Amino acid sequence: MHRLSAQAERLVELALEEDLALGDATSEATLDPAAAGEGAFLAKEDLVLAGTAVAARVLERLGASCRFGRGDGDRVRGGEEVGTARGRVTALLAAERTALNFLQRLSGVATATRRAVEALAQGGGRTRLLDTRKTTPGFRLLEKAAVRAGGGTNHRLSLGDGILIKDNHVAASGGVAEAVRRARARAGALLRIEVEVVDLAGLDAAIAAGADLVLLDNMDDAGIAAAVARAAGRVRLEASGNMTLERLPRVAATGVDFVSMGAITHSARAVDLSFELR
């Protein structure tokens, strides 16, 4: 049996319930409930695969078995078979759409991530791609895993596994130094502290306050380059805001440690896969 996080398990349950709340009227009317069959998942375009475990779990919850020959992170060519499923035909048909909906979306995220990682590599290869919290509600862990499958690095997974001090936090604390001090005192001993800044003065203050990372918000390429020079390795730097595939090589060329992009999760196009009964 494929094991998912408790969150993903509940999402699969929701997904099946929304489609099957009243049963599958067509199959119940026309198919032999005992008839068994098998089918294959096929890529219909070139893609980076992700979401195989959750897609398999959809099948399994309806009593079918499912096995993916290709794994998350694999590059797949259009036309290739990526997995197979066996079980009652009624189960295969009831699960098909939901399994594909997961697979197409998550492979879409992995594919978009891979493309961005490759664009960064053109700028020198040192800069890593980060994701954000701009994920599909309920899909956080699944999309974060798809980002890793595409070659990206996760930023924090949630509001609880990392400290990111923004302007509101600084204002409420009476300054960045005090905000960082409070965070150090309160947060778990294994969390790093990142501070968001908009200019070099902010960067200086964040470094002085003892930040582990600094997020450079909406700076242009020159600004990022200046920040890299100013930090001089004393702190890790993340550039964020208005990132496009076309711009990524130039940003990477600044030598910034990380670039983050919301679009790889919130606006990735679903890639095309199908399920064919044999």
Catalytic residue among 134, 148, 181, 247: 134
Going by DSSP bridges, is the β-strand pair 273-277/163-165 parallel, antiparallel, or unpaired?
A: unpaired
How many Cα atoms sit within 13 Å of 107 on the Cβ side? 32
Is 67 one of the binding residues for its own copies (CB under 8 A)?
Answer: no
Binding status of residue 1 toward its own copies by CB under 8 A: yes
| Shortest spacing between CB 251 and its own copies, in angstroms | 17
88 classed as catalytic: no
- Taking CB under 8 A as the binding criterion, the range among 75-83, 85-93, 218-226, 242-250 that sits at the site for its own copies is 85-93
Would residue 166 show up in a list of annotated catalytic residues for this protein?
Answer: yes
Please state the length of the chain. 278
Q: Which of 60, 74, 194, 196 is catalytic?
A: 196
Give Cα separations from 110 to 70, 120, 146, 258 (angstroms): 14, 15, 5, 18
Name the one residue in this structure whose structure tokens are 């195989």.
52
One character per residue 184-223, x = contact with its own copies (rule: CB under 8 A)? -xxxxxxxxxx-----------------xx----------
Binding-site member from 47, 49, 82, 98 for its own copies (CB under 8 A)? 98
220: annotated active-site residue: no
Q: In the annotation, is 217 catalytic?
A: yes
- Of 113, 258, 259, 264, which lies in the binding site for its own copies, with binding defined by CB under 8 A? 258
Site string for its own copies, 105-144 (x = CB under 8 A): x--x-------------------x-x--xxxxxxxxx---
Interface residue with its own copies, options 44, 126, 234, 269 (CB under 8 A): 269
DSSP class of residue 152 equals: -
For its own copies, the closer of residues 173 and 223 by Cβ is 173
Q: What CA–CA distance (Å, rounded) separates 100 from 41?
A: 8
Query: Judged by CB, which is closer to its own copies: 117, or 141?
Result: 141
* Minimal distance, residue 182 CB to its own copies, in Å: 5
Q: What is the dihedral of CA 88, 89, 90, 94, to 10 degrees?
A: 110
Catalytic residue among 217, 220, 221, 272: 217
Contact status: 172 vs its own copies (CB under 8 A) = yes
232 binds its own copies (CB under 8 A): no
Residues 53 and 99: their CA atoms lie apart, in Å, by 10
Q: Which residue among 83, 156, 206, 243 contacts its own copies (CB under 8 A)?
A: 156
CB 92 within 8 A of CB 64: yes
* CB-based contacts of 247, cutoff 8 Å, min separation 6: 221
Give the shortest CB-257-to-its own copies separation in angstroms: 9
* Contact call for residue 13 and its own copies (CB under 8 A): yes
Tell me the site size for its own copies, rule CB under 8 A: 97
Q: How far is CA 28 from CA 25, 89, 97, in A?
A: 5, 11, 17
The string of DSSP letters for 39-50 reads: EEEEESS-EE--
Q: What distances in angstroms separate CA 224 from CA 195, 227, 228, one per listed residue?
A: 15, 5, 6
Residues ≥6 apart with Cβ < 8 Å to 65: 59, 85, 86, 87
Instruction: Judge whether 44 counts as a catalytic residue.
Output: no
15 or 227: whose CB is closer to its own copies?
15
Active site residues: 97, 134, 166, 196, 217
